[in-house]
Amino acid sequence: MTNHKDIATPIRTKEILKKYGFSVKKSLGQNFIIDTNILSNIVEAAGLNKETNVVEVGPGIGALTEHLARASKEVIAFEIDDRLLPVLADTLSPYDNVSIIHQDVLQANLKEVLTEKVDLAEPLMVVANLPYYITTPIVMYFLESVVRIDALVIMMQKEVAERITAAPGSKAYGSLTIAVQYHMDAEIAFIVPKTVFMPQPNVDSAIIKLTRRTTPSVEVMDEKVFFELTRAAFVQRRKTLWNNLLGKYGKEEAMKEKLIQALDYAGIDPKRRGETLSLTEFGKLADGICLKVLN
């Protein structure tokens, strides 16, 4: 096993692609990592050990997968591109703790698939180099899943990572920030230059680590109202919170009166913009809306 040649080198990657006559599909966001140091750093950031089970999305030709297999208990990798199945069967043949699931993870019954392969009481992480075009839906899918994911260590466009880890008042802060930070502690582990991929993407990437909080970052009366409010607050970023609230809840005089009461309850100036509110302030306003607007 130790003399097994790493997949993630420029020469081996080219050899594998040539052997299978594989051409990269831009539509699937296929960029293969050709730097083993980056992969070691990802595994290190995840803090994997032989008690941890890992879900991977988009294993490609198996470059990250083999590093995960060496460091963790079981790896369940979802691959949508059937052209890669024979490649993965070959490149990952030395590892008996990897299962390749030929399915779109967003369409999968995650609980069913994982129950067959692992004990869901054991630590479970998502570690993946995500296809750029579908990063946000995949992150939200795992955060909201009935299967408890303890942490996600994922590669994504640097700009998206900055949005997820943003602080209130910054340009990057928005409803995605809040949706993730409600459930998880978020930090950027390190930046990945575009030069370590084949083919090279147009932008740099970042490895982000999301760690499940024991309780949500803010306690609210109704989660659904909270998330609807935070989305509404950013519909038109340049508009005041007041204008976005009218757009969401209605402009009738009676509704305006109720919204003023909700803002008063939360102690929030209607002239502020959504991006200036902290998660705690959004939580208070969501409660105000529950009490004054929706009851």
Instruction: Note the pLDDT of residue 4.
Output: 66
User: Which CATH number do you get for residue 273?
Assistant: 1.10.8.100
Binding-site residue numbers are 31, 33, 58, 79, 104, 129
Among 178, 212, 246, which residue terminates a domain?
Answer: 212
Residues 56 and 99 both lie in one domain: yes
In the chain, the number of structural domains is 2
Confidence at 27, pLDDT banded by 50, 70, 90? low
* Total Cβ atoms within 10 A of residue 17: 16
Instruction: Note the pLDDT of residue 29.
Output: 62
Mean pLDDT confidence for 123-140: 92
Residues 250 and 208 both lie in one domain: no
Instruction: Note the pLDDT of residue 28.
Output: 64
- For the cut 90, the answer to whether the pLDDT of residue 49 exceeds it is yes
Residue 14 lies in a domain: yes
Confidence at 23, pLDDT banded by 50, 70, 90? confident
Task: Indicate the pairing of strand 184-192 with strand 124-129.
Answer: unpaired
Residues 181 and 236 both lie in one domain: no
Instruction: Note the pLDDT of residue 234.
Output: 96
Determine what percent of the chain is predicted with pLDDT higher than 90.
88
Residues 6-17 have pLDDT tens digits of 999 999 999 999
Residues 164 and 261 both lie in one domain: no
Instruction: Note the pLDDT of residue 295.
Output: 83
Determine the Cα angle at 169 with ends 292 and 149, to 5°: 80
Mean pLDDT confidence for 100-113: 96
Residue 217 lies in a domain: no
Residues 262 and 196 both lie in one domain: no
Mean pLDDT confidence for 54-65: 96
Task: Indicate the pairing of strand 151-157 with strand 205-212.
Answer: antiparallel
Mean pLDDT confidence for 96-121: 96
Residues 17 and 157 both lie in one domain: yes
- For the cut 50, the answer to whether the pLDDT of residue 62 exceeds it is yes
Task: Indicate the pairing of strand 53-57 with strand 151-157.
Answer: unpaired
Residue 4 lies in a domain: no
According to DSSP, residue 203 is labeled S
Strands (E), the chain: 32-33, 53-57, 74-78, 98-101, 124-129, 151-157, 184-192, 197-198, 205-212
Among 212, 233, 267, which residue terminates a domain?
Answer: 212
Residues 57 and 167 both lie in one domain: yes
Confidence at 5, pLDDT banded by 50, 70, 90? confident
Instruction: Note the pLDDT of residue 37.
Output: 95
Residue 257 lies in a domain: yes
Mean pLDDT confidence for 75-89: 95
Q: What is the mean pLDDT of the chain?
A: 94
- Kindly write down the DSSP assignment for every residue of 207-259, as one continuous string: EEEEEE-SS-SS--S-HHHHHHHHHHHTTTTTS-HHHHHHHHH---HHHHHHH
Asked whether 76 and 127 are in contact (CB, 8 A), the reply is no
The verdict on whether omega for the bond into residue 199 sits within 30 degrees of 0, i.e. cis, is yes
- For the cut 60, the answer to whether the pLDDT of residue 96 exceeds it is yes
- List Cβ neighbours of 45 (8 Å cut-off, separation of 6 or more): 153, 189, 190, 207, 209
Residue 80 lies in a domain: yes
Residues 66 and 43 both lie in one domain: yes
Residues 233 and 126 both lie in one domain: no
Binding-site residue numbers for S-adenosyl-L-methionine are 31, 33, 58, 79, 104, 129
Determine the Cα angle at 108 with ends 17 and 155, to 5°: 50
Residue 263 lies in a domain: yes
Would you call 199 helix, strand, or coil by DSSP? coil
User: Which CATH number do you get for residue 139?
Assistant: 3.40.50.150
Confidence at 32, pLDDT banded by 50, 70, 90? confident
Instruction: Note the pLDDT of residue 26.
Output: 65
Q: Which residue range is the domain that position 273 belongs to? A: 223-293
Residues 235 and 286 both lie in one domain: yes
Residue 270 lies in a domain: yes
Residue closest to 176 by CA, chosen among 137, 150, 149: 137
- For the cut 70, the answer to whether the pLDDT of residue 121 exceeds it is yes
- For the cut 80, the answer to whether the pLDDT of residue 3 exceeds it is no
Residue 5 lies in a domain: no
Residues 84 and 42 both lie in one domain: yes
Among 212, 234, 262, which residue terminates a domain?
Answer: 212
Residues 263 and 282 both lie in one domain: yes
